Amino acid sequence: MSAFINAARIYIRMKMTEEAATTQVAWVLSYVQGGIAEAWKDNLMDELAKGESEVETVEQLFSKIRNDFGETSEEERKIKQLRTIEQGSRTCNEYVQEFKKVARGSGYEGRPLIEEFKRGLNGAIRRKLAEAEEPPTTIGEWQERAVRLDRNRDRVERRRGCWEGMRRAQGETRSQGGVVWRKRGPHNAEVGG
């Protein structure tokens, strides 16, 4: 919703500053489409036509949009995002960058901010950092060490994949105990190497 309002504000400042307030409101409403928003717009347009609406300026319209659709403040929106953001399949660096963007303006700091960051981290990274000999204590330390750990884990996995590929190319397979066995040819002769 904020993206929509910000885009509308920018356009109005660039192209519609000389237009009447009612024209600006009508222009914004022309982009309110689909589902419940469409019904909301139709009701508001009826109220405007009858002179029953308190919306007279585009800023009043933006406030009404926020109030009617549950986003009463930027801080509340940020808090809602902060409580639901997760790393998922992204790299830790991608998660950290989005987390920083969302956290800015949320009012969260200190321990509550750290707890939200930890909650969204992938479990394996969170556990490794929490179980470290000296666990991180600040949000900056949590973010820096999580990114470093994720990069190291990725590097190890790439190397492991490279080694496995080389072993397969040489005809090696692994048993459960980690012993390397070579494949044998038709007369029980060792193949390769």
Q: Does position 188 have pLDDT exceeding 60, yes or no? A: no
Structural domain tally of the chain? 2
Domain boundary among 54, 72, 90: 72
Q: Are residues 164 and 139 in the same domain?
A: yes
| Cα–Cα distance for residue pair 45/15, rounded to 1 Å | 23
Q: Are residues 80 and 166 in the same domain?
A: yes
Q: Are 184 and 190 in contact (CB under 8 A)?
A: yes
Q: Are residues 68 and 98 in the same domain?
A: no
Q: Are residues 37 and 81 in the same domain?
A: no
Q: What is the three-class DSSP state of 66?
A: helix
Q: What is the three-class DSSP state of 134?
A: coil
| Cα–Cα distance for residue pair 2/102, rounded to 1 Å | 13
- Positive or negative torsion for Cα 134, 137, 141, 143: positive
CA distances to 139, 143, 156, 164, 174 from 177, rounded to whole Å, are: 41, 36, 20, 16, 8
Q: Are residues 65 and 84 in the same domain?
A: no
**Each residue's pLDDT tens digit, 30-43:** 999 988 899 999 99
Q: Are 143 and 91 in contact (CB under 8 A)?
A: no
pLDDT-derived band of residue 169, with 50, 70 and 90 as boundaries?
A: low
Domain of 50? 2-72
pLDDT-derived band of residue 19, with 50, 70 and 90 as boundaries?
A: very high
Residue 109 lies in a domain: yes
User: pTM of the full predicted structure?
Assistant: 0.51
**Each residue's pLDDT tens digit, 82-101:** 999 999 999 999 999 999 99
Q: Are residues 21 and 99 in the same domain?
A: no
Residue 189 lies in a domain: no
CA distances to 28, 65, 68, 111, 161 from 59, rounded to whole Å, are: 11, 10, 14, 36, 56
DSSP characters over 108-132: --HHHHHHHHHHHS-HHHHHHHHTS
| Cα–Cα distance for residue pair 182/189, rounded to 1 Å | 10
Q: Are residues 65 and 6 in the same domain?
A: yes
Q: Are residues 83 and 48 in the same domain?
A: no
